[in-house]
Structure 1
Amino acid sequence: MLPKLGEWVSFAESCDLLMLLNVSSDEKILPTTYGELRPPLGKHRLKIVEFIAVLLRIGNEAAEKELVNTGTIQRVIDLFFEYPYNNALHHHVGSIILSCLESKNDAIVDHLLQECDLIGKFLQTDKNPVLSGDSNQPTLPAAGKCAHRVGNIGHITRISNKILQLGSSNSRIQACIQENSEWNKWQTNVLQERNAVENVYRWACGRPTAFQDRTRDSDEDDLHDRDYDVAALANNLSQAFSYKIYGNDDNEEQMYFYDAGCIL
């Protein structure tokens, strides 16, 4: 698979990922049960995030450096918070974060935890877990109604636990989280209590059958079990944009599936 990464470079040179992930010039509006999306994320942006997730799982240092230098990783992190009800997006961004944290490249770990301020954004969202009414954000609450609770708290909890787990064996991660007194207080007073409440093995009703013999996080199963061909994925994306498959003619039903339909 690694020798085919040259095709990724060709794709990246001909297609600015950061520009494609930009939603500011998109004027589409999609009404939803909780408000509206201005604009919806759309299937093409979701596919780009998936491509980045797969690319980072390879652990290629050149690709990591390019994604850091162009600000693509930071943009993907921002999308996680800008679209708080898009579970498919959260799944791929979670994979991207995990790949960055597990990377042997200290630069990408520092970029994620310091320049992207991942922990600070997690703490801010958990502290105020309701949909913002900021008109500059693409996800807006319905007028005259109470704002809904955001839908990415579960992912934030899972990723935070992973940060703690990896920090026990990674001095770089440990140093970053120890510097943040607010994080230390939150993970002691909030995260630990939440983990205890959500621990299905301690529920009085007993452990759900679906959890029998599970040894991996359910969100990680899909990426572990699928054999991705990065070059083929890059080629498919390149052809899609060349032939404008992901152009402005996406109908509302397709947009709904990739945005409002991904709510948990």
Structure 2
Amino acid sequence: MSFWKTFGFNTGTAIDSILDGEDYTLEQLLDEEEIIQETKAQNKRLIEFFVEPETLKKLLYYITEEPQEDDDTNRKYKYPFLSCEILASEIWAICDAMYSNPGLLDMLYSYFEKESPLHPLLSSYTSRVACVLLQKKVSTTVNYMKERQGIIDHFLKHLGNGFVMELLLKIIACEDTTEGAGTLEWLCTTGLIASLISKFEPSLGTEVHENAGQALVDIIIVSMNSSSSPLIAQLESKEHVERLFGYILEKGLSSSLQNGLTVLIELLRRHVREHHDDETTLENLPPILRLSVDNLVPLIKLITPDSENNLPTLQTTTGKVVPIGFERLKIVEFISALFITNKLCIDKELVKTNILNTCLDLFFSYPWNNFLHAIVEIIIQSILEGENESLKMTLVEDCKLIQRIVDASKDNDDDCAKPKGTRKGYMGHLTAISHALLNIATITPAIDKLLSENPGWEGFVRGELSSIRERENRPLAGYIPSEYGMADEPQDFDELEDEDNDILFEHMGGYDQSGDYHPGENEFRLDPDDDSDDDDDDDDEMVVQGRHQEDSDDDDEPQQQQQEQQEEKKEEAELKAETPAEEGSTQDAV
């Protein structure tokens, strides 16, 4: 068909044939294979038919009304799919027609007022069309939703449906657009925060918890640059934080805990300070921080090594491994977020719970969980790089961090020495922590003293740590080859670069430090003094200027010797040719 259209031999399509008739139905057009192609090509007569109110109502009917059991496959699958594709084709004429008749929008959004669960196919089609219309006309759609009472509650009723959840997230994201400014303020009046927090009820299921948590996290991210967001103010209020902690701790390790802590971690990141705060007291902390400290003890009880862990053992390439679990991992991440707030009063409360020892015990108890190792390393690095000297000494001295590192290195060496032994999974993180200790020791005499007093630390630094540092500092593909070979490999990249520059200068030539130019050994250029009277081709001959004269003389000697040898051979050949004739004349004489 495209060939005939391109070269002007269009004989018409089946769609055009139907549109040429007087009586035709939407179903006749939907039965044609080219309906989507012609729609996206914006066939004028076809679009004019689609924007008619009756046609739009029929299209909406197919995506909002569930088919009956005795309906044919076209009604159940084909017509709803094609109707969704047409309505979501992002054609302005169709979008304008939808908004010119409020009854059409009512028909679309009334679908979400149905009871759960929604039809899986129709909910995806309806949500997709609603998302496209929202993106095309943000302000108009938001204004319509403001006038439609209870529409957000209808969305939240189906929070377990991923397609409805996607629509809700797009509504929240409208705040980032110019047309959608003020969306969060309107959502604040709808009771959205309270409704979302209620979705963390443990009995509602994992999918509902995940969607509620994702919605709250998106609200926090959208409001990240705003210090006076009404939704954030509601979310961080004492009432809502207490309620959220109640759901988190209600059933111990559960999806409510995992997704609820995800929300709290995002809120804590809004309170991170660059410099340490020594003045604020616990009583003066915001509710989110104060209540987080108050609920530390029950959370820490869930991650102690002797706490109950009912997770099944996993068979991996390194053998059987007991997983730590997403919930316990999320608690450690929550502890990390509290440390990073850089508040002295919070640090003191964390030290009282002995959480640092607990985190270090977990670090070495799960040698193959790199997520856990990364979080614990963040805690240690934040403490060592922070301004709380007392907390540093608690970590290094009271928690015996140095001795733990030395013992772990020895255990790793013993395991590697065994047949088919493997290196512990946490050794890379221990290397980074050890480097941080060495760096902080240069400016903290107390830590430097502890390092020097440990009998195994010096051996670890000179052995394991030194070999790792040397291997990490070596270029990935090796050193750059040079004419001097690789016997003496420079350890300093600046030294290596200077040496290579000297070699390059010697071979290729260049300007020295005084600004004088020196030709290199391999530099080619035209010889301006060539006065040869040879043919025109000889005038273009390239002459090597950088060669030594001795090399030229050496090259000429073999040519002269070869010419002399050829002349001698020629004389010998002539002499041999004359000799038989003389012998023949002697025989005749005899």
- Aligned residue number for residue 47 of structure 1: 330
CA shift at 1:106, angstroms? 2.4
AA in 2 matched with 1:7? I
Answering whether residue 433 of structure 2 is matched by residue 168 of structure 1, we say no
| TM-score normalised by L of structure 1 | 0.65
- Aligned residue number for residue 195 of structure 1: 469
Partner SS state of residue 320, structure 2: strand
Answering whether residue 361 of structure 2 is matched by residue 78 of structure 1, we say yes
- Aligned residue number for residue 21 of structure 1: 303
AA in 2 matched with 1:73? L
Deviations 1:198-233 (A, max 9, x none): 224375167xxxxxxxxxxxxxxxxxxxxxxxxxxx
- What do you get for the CA RMSD once the two structures are aligned? 2.5
Task: Give yes or no for contact 2:431–2:465 (8 Å, CA) kept in 1.
Answer: yes
AA in 1 matched with 2:468? R
Task: Give yes or no for contact 2:329–2:372 (8 Å, CA) kept in 1.
Answer: yes
Given the superposition, is the C-alpha separation of residues 50 and 103 from structure 1 closer, same or farther in structure 2, using an over 3 Å criterion?
same
AA in 2 matched with 1:171? P
Q: 2:293 aligns with which of 12, 34, 38?
A: 12
The separation in 1 between residues aligned to 2:477 and 2:351, in whole angstroms, is 42
Task: Give yes or no for contact 1:106–1:172 (8 Å, CA) kept in 2.
Answer: no
AA in 2 matched with 1:167? A
Given the superposition, is the C-alpha separation of residues 5 and 36 from structure 1 closer, same or farther in structure 2, using an over 3 Å criterion?
farther
The separation in 2 between residues aligned to 1:131 and 1:191, in whole angstroms, is 16
CA shift at 1:113, angstroms? 1.0
After TM superposition, list the pairs within 5 Å mapping 1:1-264 onto structure 2.
1=271, 5-15=286-296, 16-24=298-306, 25-33=308-316, 34-38=318-322, 40-129=323-412, 148-201=422-475, 203-204=477-478
Task: Give yes or no for contact 1:56–1:63 (8 Å, CA) kept in 2.
Answer: yes
Deviations 1:166-223 (A, max 9, x none): 11112232122122131023212331222001224375167xxxxxxxxxxxxxxxxx
Task: Give yes or no for contact 2:305–2:361 (8 Å, CA) kept in 1.
Answer: no
Given the superposition, is the C-alpha separation of residues 23 and 120 from structure 1 closer, same or farther in structure 2, using an over 3 Å criterion?
closer
Task: Give yes or no for contact 2:305–2:362 (8 Å, CA) kept in 1.
Answer: no
**Structure 1 residues not aligned, in runs of 5+:** 133-144, 207-264
Identity fraction in percent: 30
Given the superposition, is the C-alpha separation of residues 175 and 55 from structure 1 closer, same or farther in structure 2, using an over 3 Å criterion?
same
CA shift at 1:61, angstroms? 0.9
- Aligned residue number for residue 235 of structure 1: none
Task: Give yes or no for contact 1:17–1:48 (8 Å, CA) kept in 2.
Answer: yes
Task: Give yes or no for contact 1:130–1:148 (8 Å, CA) kept in 2.
Answer: no
The separation in 2 between residues aligned to 1:195 and 1:116, in whole angstroms, is 26
Task: Give yes or no for contact 1:90–1:152 (8 Å, CA) kept in 2.
Answer: yes
CA shift at 1:112, angstroms? 0.9
Task: Give yes or no for contact 1:18–1:71 (8 Å, CA) kept in 2.
Answer: no
Partner SS state of residue 36, structure 1: strand
AA in 1 matched with 2:403? G
Partner SS state of residue 114, structure 1: helix
AA in 2 matched with 1:120? Q
Partner SS state of residue 164, structure 1: helix
Task: Give yes or no for contact 2:409–2:460 (8 Å, CA) kept in 1.
Answer: no
AA in 2 matched with 1:8? L
Given the superposition, is the C-alpha separation of residues 185 and 131 from structure 1 closer, same or farther in structure 2, using an over 3 Å criterion?
closer
Relative CO higher for 1 or 2, CA cutoff 8 Å, sep ≥ 6?
1
The separation in 1 between residues aligned to 2:305 and 2:402, in whole angstroms, is 24
The separation in 2 between residues aligned to 1:93 and 1:131, in whole angstroms, is 24
Of structures 1 and 2, the larger Rg is shown by 2
Deviations 1:9-50 (A, max 9, x none): 213323523202124322322222123334x21111111211
Deviates more, 1:24-33 or 1:82-91: 24-33
Given the superposition, is the C-alpha separation of residues 105 and 31 from structure 1 closer, same or farther in structure 2, using an over 3 Å criterion?
same
Partner SS state of residue 129, structure 1: helix
Task: Give yes or no for contact 1:101–1:109 (8 Å, CA) kept in 2.
Answer: yes
Deviations 1:56-83 (A, max 9, x none): 1221111111111101111011111011
**Structure 2 residues not aligned, in runs of 5+:** 1-270, 273-283, 481-590
Task: Give yes or no for contact 1:50–1:92 (8 Å, CA) kept in 2.
Answer: yes
Task: Give yes or no for contact 2:441–2:448 (8 Å, CA) kept in 1.
Answer: yes
